[in-house]
Amino acid sequence: MKNFLIISFLLLVGGYGFGQNGQTNDSLEFSLTIHVVDLETEEALPCVTITIIGTDGSLRKYTPREGEKLDSIPLKPETSYSIVIELDGYLTIRGKETTVGLTQSKKFLHEYAIQPFMEIIIKLPKVEFEHNKFKLEVAMLDSLNYMSQIMIENPTIVVKAVAFQDSTEKKGISLLRAEDVIKGMIKLGIAPERLVVADNGIDPYIVSVKNRNPCKPPTSRTINCRCVLFMVVSDDYVPPK
């Protein structure tokens, strides 16, 4: 698993031989299969809620059985769809699909790996700094934009910016890094009360990792870098009306 936030995997499987070019809308057939797994363990998730909203005004909600895919949901021709994947304790993610302009029948397969969030470092590119530097640079904005989009799509979460420095740097530089990252998030429109500063200094951060083999106990790894990482600390923020 790559060490960055993988919001979703999208695989389009087409050309199943349903017909030739020039099919009429009445003869076109489209279907969508969705499979959702835990980003940390890669195991299929039970109880996930999948909402599919079409530009034709349709709204469908599904909860697949444990370990099963949401299989072969019919889609209409000339219609675009928004897909919302939700589960308590996980970041909400969104996808999309469209049949607009397609002249041959297709089957679509979407695979989503969703991020558990409580007290877990969110997987996305680190906000990394040069030695003894703490000011945000243009190259760092992709991570901040990505994190702000996650917070927009999950409007009740509160995020902690966990800052690090190495032993050769000036004391307190990690705190300045966290504060500058928070300022950047506020400029992107995130409410200040949804952001918390955590100065980890030169201490390595110990992360518990669930073992994919349920018969073995969790393992752990350490993080120590000149960087700022993000962690969700609560999901009870109430957005102002």
For residues 18, 24, 27, 32, the Cα torsion angle rounded to the nearest 10 degrees is: 70
Q: How much is the pLDDT for 133?
A: 85
Segment 126-171, tens digit of pLDDT: 688 888 888 888 777 888 888 898 899 889 889 888 888 888 888 8
Burial class (CB in 10 A: 0-12, 13-18, 19+), 36: buried
Token pair of 8, please?
A: 């979703």
pLDDT at 81: 95
- pLDDT value, residue 209: 44
**Residue 238 vs residues 30, 50, 108, 193, 241: alpha-carbon distances, Å:** 39, 23, 36, 10, 9
The reported pLDDT for the residue numbered 129 is 85
Please give the backbone phi and psi of residue 187, each rounded to the nearest 5 degrees, phi first. -60, -25
Assess contact for 233 and 196: CB atoms under 8 A.
Answer: yes
What tokens does 98 get?
Answer: 């469209």
Residues of the chain with pLDDT under 50: 1-20, 204-221
- pTM assigned to the model: 0.62
- Report yes or no: 137 and 195 within 8 Å, Cβ to Cβ: no
What the chain holds in terms of domains, given with CATH numbers, is 9-114 (2.60.40.1120), 127-234 (3.30.1330.60)
Please give the pLDDT value at position 6.
36
What amino acid occupies position 23? Q
